């Protein structure tokens, strides 16, 4: 099937519409230069079938945990409904599924956390395809007793995620055969830090006050300033030191500027 060179973009959009609607117009067929041995209708049928399968595969690759929670039958049924409603606008089919989480809100009431899980998996997908930080080391914690405060710089990219429901345990156990046996407490808020160094992605589940502290540090507050702002939420002074060490050991910090 050969296409006129100056019609590729419009053809692609029309083709996606035809594939998902199962309807072919004569005007569209007229734009295609036919093969000698196969009818246009047969060619489109073959391409249509393969195209739909690839879109399902793309959704399955991106939303692997959603798939695991729903199971094969329910997941692919939802995928088919989504594909009929949502056209692919990119040559790269792995880009497909941006608003899948919104679609899940309408289609799945049994699992209220599922749209949040889908949002997380799309974020992970974006982080996976992003350029990781070239800073692969970790700064040393200052030992000078004259240091009275510190300002830190996070590696880039770093992502702060606050969820209404706890979905991270599902994602961590996405290869499990049965989520029911794991009995996750999903109906509670969740706070995550995610980053990419080189080709490696790291994620950390943290508490609410730790999330607030880290966000203040990212905004440019010193460790002392940030701690004073949320002082009433911090369990004890040692908790700040422990959390700071976790950030450092986890590789989330790129630079430390000391104030004397």
Q: What is the pLDDT of residues 16-36, one digit of tens each?
A: 666 555 555 666 666 665 566
CA distances from 185 to 116, 167, 168, 170, 180 (A): 15, 9, 11, 10, 11
Q: Same domain, yes or no, for 179 and 239?
A: yes
Domain stops at, among 98, 129, 160: 129
| Domain limits for position 33 | 5-129
Element (H, E) at 143: none
Q: Give domain status of residue 180, yes or no.
A: yes
Residue 31: both structure tokens together:
């734009």
Average pLDDT over the chain reads: 85
Q: Same domain, yes or no, for 180 and 248?
A: yes
Cβ distance 25 to 44 under 8 Å?
Answer: no
| pLDDT, tens digit (0-9, with 9 covering 90-100), for 225-255 | 999 999 999 999 899 999 999 999 999 999 9
Residue 237 has what pLDDT? 86
Q: Give domain status of residue 134, yes or no.
A: no
This prediction's pTM: 0.81
Q: Same domain, yes or no, for 74 and 120?
A: yes
The helix-helix angle for 208-218 and 237-249 (nearest 10°) equals 70
Q: Same domain, yes or no, for 9 and 121?
A: yes
Residue 252 has what pLDDT? 95
Q: Give domain status of residue 137, yes or no.
A: no
Q: Give domain status of residue 144, yes or no.
A: no
Q: Same domain, yes or no, for 184 and 237?
A: yes
Residue 75 has what pLDDT? 96
Collect the ranges in the chain with pLDDT lower than 70. 1-49, 144-146, 180-181
Q: Same domain, yes or no, for 112 and 160?
A: no
Q: Give domain status of residue 140, yes or no.
A: no
Domain count, the chain: 2
Distant-in-sequence, close-in-space partners of 194: CB < 8 Å, separation ≥ 6: 123, 124, 127, 158, 159, 161, 201, 202, 203, 204
Domain stops at, among 77, 98, 129: 129
| Residue 211: CATH number of its domain | 3.90.930
Residue 156: both structure tokens together:
């880039």
Q: Give domain status of residue 135, yes or no.
A: no
């Amino acid at each position: 099937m050969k296409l006129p060179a100056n019609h590729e973009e419009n053809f692609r959009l029309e083709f996606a519409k035809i594939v998902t609607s199962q309807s072919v117009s004569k005007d569209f067929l007229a734009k295609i230069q036919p093969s000698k041995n196969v009818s246009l209708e047969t060619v489109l049928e073959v391409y249509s079938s393969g195209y739909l399968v690839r879109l399902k595969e793309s959704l399955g690759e991106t939303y692997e945990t959603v798939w695991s929670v729903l199971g094969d039958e329910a997941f692919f049924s939802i995928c088919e409904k989504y594909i009929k409603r949502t056209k692919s606008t990119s040559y790269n089919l792995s880009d497909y599924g941006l608003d899948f989480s919104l679609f899940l809100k309408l289609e799945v009431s049994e699992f209220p956390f599922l749209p949040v899980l889908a949002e997380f998996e799309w974020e992970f997908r974006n982080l996976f395809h992003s350029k990781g930080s070239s800073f692969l080391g970790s700064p040393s914690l200052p030992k000078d007793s004259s240091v009275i405060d510190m300002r830190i710089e996070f590696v880039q990219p770093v992502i702060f995620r606050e969820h209404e429901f706890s979905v991270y345990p599902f994602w961590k156990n996405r290869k499990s055969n049965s989520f029911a046996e794991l009995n996750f407490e999903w109906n509670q808020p969740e706070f995550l830090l995610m980053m990419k160094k080189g080709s490696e992605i790291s994620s950390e589940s943290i508490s609410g006050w730790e999330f607030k502290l880290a966000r203040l540090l990212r905004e440019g507050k010193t460790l002392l300033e940030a701690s004073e702002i949320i002082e009433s939420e911090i369990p004890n002074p040692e908790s700040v030191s422990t959390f700071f060490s976790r950030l450092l050991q986890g590789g989330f910090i790129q630079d430390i500027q000391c104030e004397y």
